[in-house]
Chain A
Amino acid sequence: MAYKFRAERTLSRAFKDFSIGFRPNPNTEDFSVVKNENAIKQSVRNLVLTGFYERPFQPRKGSRLREMLFEPFDVFLAEDIREEISNVVKRFEPRVVLNSVRVKEGEETNTIEVELDYTIVGETLIQTVDFLLERT
């Protein structure tokens, strides 16, 4: 039987992706799966944390964020980081519309807290992703 093309199929509108940790699900002993808003959340984090030249043959995919962590922190850097995150999400993640990016310095922990608010296209609920950026 010939396979059906995508247009002919009644695919679910759900998003389904591997879990980036590639850890097995204890029940199925198969890949862990992330779905829908979690899949998108994972995708946004991946994009932000990917540096230029990190992915083979796609040098422009990613952001300068990791390099920026080595700069002295001030308001200008915070603005740059915000800009960088906003750019990368707009360029590579068409499933979301970014509402705001908040960058805060965790002075005592030597970290930067980043909080993204976005809306998934076609939905009304605002999603929030927050993560800490740390020099490694």
Chain B
Amino acid sequence: MAAIPSNLTSLDFTEIKESIRSYLRTREEFTDYDFDGSAASYLLDVLSYNTYYASFNANMAMNEAFLESATIRDNVVKIAKQLNYTPRSIKASKACLNFSVQTSLVGSSNAYPATVTLPQGDVFVSSVDGQSFLFTLPVAITTAVDQQTGIASFPKTVAYQGNLLNYTYTVQDVKKRGYEIPVDNVDTDLLYVSISPNAQSEEIDTYNRINDIVGVDGTTRGYFLEETDDLRYKIIFGDGIIGRELIAGEIIRLKYVRTDGPLANGCKKFTFIGRAIDNLNRVIPSSQITIATVDASQDGEEGEDIVSIKFNAPRAFSAQNRAVTETDYEYITKYVYPQARSVTAYGGERLSPPIYGKVFIAVKTKSGSALNETTKKRIKADLLKYSMAAIEPVIIDPVSMYIRPKSYVFFDGRSTNLSNNELASKVLGAIDQYNTQGSANRFNGRIDTSAFMTMVDSSDNAIVGNQTSMTLGLNIEGFPFGSTFTQCVDFDNEIVNPGDISGGTTGSGEGAGTCDPKFSSVKSGTFYSTGYTENLLDLAVQSQQLTANSVLSTSTFIDGDTSALLPVNVRDDGRGELIMVTKLDEKEVILKKGVGTVNYKSGEVCLGPVNVASTPDGTSRIPITVLVASGAVTIGTGVDPVIFNPQVITIDYTIDGTVVPNFDPFDFTPINFDGTSINIIDYPTTVFEFPEFDACF
């Protein structure tokens, strides 16, 4: 019996040919297959090529059948579809504009028109790198006219790059559920689907995208979205059980933006090419229109690429629209509450002491304000649909941690035309951007001084370097005015212990061999303490010859004293105790010792016992600032860090010889509580408040 070719797995032409040759060697019919010029050799070439082709094709076809090995986008998308994953479409670049229109008086009357409407469609044009782009408004905007000035303002109008297109389908066959958007490069976030009963009808039913079938029934007006071939998307309507089924004759109206994606990022100057009309249908001449760009076009992105789909599809599938892990809760909370800027979730077992059976979800809103109770209840109710039995989601406000960087920025004045102030505001702009961009993912992270310094260095070419120190801030809040209290805040970061590095001249230190610490690493904002009045200070000055830097020895307040309360601050004495101080003739006077404690190791600061009569802003909040020991600020569970009032001091090193000294155990001037302008830790001047990000997007 003749042998058969045994090497069946080869994917190489030469090996396949050799396999056939070795088979022929077992046969007697022909002998010349070994010689390259023989006709048999030519025939073997053809056979081998055919085999190679078939096996290559089979190999590629099998590769394309699996998510991991597929290389053609359409195939990757099809496999992702089995995992119920729709890849993200291209995203249109968007710009934020302040648009205002000066209307003219109506006829001979003194009244201006009531409203002005900016129509939907391609109404702005701009260019970047010599290429011009159209920007569109997906929906018309109408605003009231100020009857005093005749100006209609459209503040923070968001325009999207692309062409606004319409397409209409008529439902012929109700069994056909999928309708394709007939162009590619459509931003599916800007897809508007509506249904009319017939072509003549003015009645419009808006359909929204359904992402999962929780709460979807046969009457839900919605559509599913799928990607099909060639970067196009398909809208799929319900079958009467999951989603409303369409009726024959209904008109499907699609409105969408076809965009160039990231190419249009960076457009700054916009020209209006649309027609603004008032309520009397008068077109407003372009000379009466003013456009100011608030934010240049940004956020344009290419559609999700193959690598990203391969990564995301199995992970999106693993959540299965069920909240099981902490990440699931974060993802679903963002989905049910899109106004969340950032969400962090953690199981109660991570708390000390642990609280089992609960998952805590800290939601930071886009506006920065805390959630009200109704919203919290609504989010909780929405989450319960997804959560596992017996696990209770608890919505909490994140604890804000305020980071106050102070940067001394050295620059080469010869290589820039910017003044010190201009450069400082450029750096502050970069810090603001860093703050806004990073805010969503700083949860559970850490902020490194070195990373911050790199960011500052790269904000302008003239900057040669900077020295930055980070202080942390928290408010002591919710205390009662006029009664004695003790309250603590936990910074969760080690605080510089002045006692560790104390030095200088020997003072009346209590520790053996160590000297009095000469600086503080904990400082509070100004407040008014009950009983500490100007009269009391005057009296003390007179009777005790109290001078600057002395300690007030009296503790007896003056009865019926109606003089003004002294503005006081609290700082640590470098030995773990807080002292209350005020200023007399620009020098410090210590009013009271023992008004609180500092645990430098754990970062806990307790204020009290102290009696606060009032605060400068009237709210029961006192800001506390600490100097952290490490170069990196670690961010604890559920804590939302934000950069607050960064200070930037620019120094042109070519003309200004100022140096920022390092810690010197014998000279604390640079880090002292009240010394030179080069001072790392200052008394906070305002309470810490989460900044309201005044962004359009």
Q: A residues within 8 Å of B by Cβ?
A: 1-6, 11-12, 14-20, 22, 34, 39, 42-47, 50, 55-58, 61, 92-95
Contacts A55-B42, A57-B14 given: A93-B28 contact, CB under 8 Å? no
- Main SS class of interface, A: loop
B37 near A18 (CB under 8 angstroms)?
no
B42 near A92 (CB under 8 angstroms)?
no
B30 near A4 (CB under 8 angstroms)?
no
B1 near A1 (CB under 8 angstroms)?
yes
Q: Interface size bucket, B side? A: 20 to 34
Q: Which of A6, A43, A57 contacts B13 (CB 8 A)?
A: A57
Check: B128 CB closer than 8 A to any chain A CB: no
- Main SS class of interface, B: loop
- B17-61 interface with A by 8 A CB criterion: 25-26, 28-32, 35-40, 42-43, 45, 48-49, 52
A3 near B3 (CB under 8 angstroms)?
yes
Q: List 13 A-B contacts (CB under 8 A).
A: A3-B2, A6-B26, A17-B38, A42-B38, A43-B35, A43-B36, A43-B37, A43-B38, A47-B37, A55-B42, A57-B14, A93-B37, A94-B35
Contacts A1-B1, A4-B26, A16-B30 given: A55-B35 contact, CB under 8 Å? no
What chain A residues lie within 8 Å of B13 (beta carbons)?
56-57
Q: B residues within 8 Å of A by Cβ?
A: 1-3, 13-14, 25-26, 28-32, 35-40, 42-43, 45, 48-49, 52
A95 near B35 (CB under 8 angstroms)?
yes
User: In the complex, A45→B42 CA distance in Å?
Assistant: 13
* Least Cβ–Cβ distance between A83 and chain B, in angstroms: 18
B31 near A14 (CB under 8 angstroms)?
yes
User: In the complex, A17→B36 CA distance in Å?
Assistant: 12
What chain A residues lie within 8 Å of B31 (beta carbons)?
11-12, 14-17
A47 near B36 (CB under 8 angstroms)?
yes
User: In the complex, A14→B32 CA distance in Å?
Assistant: 9
Chain A CB count within 10 A is highest, among B1, B31, B36, B43, for B36
User: In the complex, A50→B26 CA distance in Å?
Assistant: 29
B1 near A3 (CB under 8 angstroms)?
yes
What chain A residues lie within 8 Å of B42 (beta carbons)?
20, 46, 55
A16 near B45 (CB under 8 angstroms)?
no
A43 near B26 (CB under 8 angstroms)?
no
User: In the complex, A50→B42 CA distance in Å?
Assistant: 11
B39 near A18 (CB under 8 angstroms)?
yes
Find the A residue at minimum CB distance from B14: A57
User: In the complex, A94→B32 CA distance in Å?
Assistant: 12
Given contacts A18-B38, A92-B36, A93-B35, 4 further A-B contacts (CB under 8 A): A3-B26, A18-B30, A56-B49, A57-B13
What chain B residues lie within 8 Å of A50 (beta carbons)?
37
What chain B residues lie within 8 Å of A61 (beta carbons)?
36
User: In the complex, A32→B42 CA distance in Å?
Assistant: 15
Q: Which of A17, A55, A58 contacts B40 (CB 8 A)?
A: A17
Q: Which of A17, A44, A55, A95 contacts B30 (CB 8 A)?
A: A17
* Least Cβ–Cβ distance between B48 and chain A, in angstroms: 8
Chain B CB count within 10 A is highest, among A4, A6, A57, for A57
B28 near A11 (CB under 8 angstroms)?
yes
User: In the complex, A3→B31 CA distance in Å?
Assistant: 17
B29 near A6 (CB under 8 angstroms)?
no
User: In the complex, A45→B38 CA distance in Å?
Assistant: 9
A58 near B45 (CB under 8 angstroms)?
yes
What chain A residues lie within 8 Å of B14 (beta carbons)?
57
Find the B residue at minimum CB distance from A49: B37
B45 near A18 (CB under 8 angstroms)?
no
What chain B residues lie within 8 Å of A6 (beta carbons)?
25-26
8 closest Cβ pairs, A-B complex: A43-B37, A3-B3, A47-B37, A17-B32, A57-B13, A18-B39, A92-B36, A20-B39
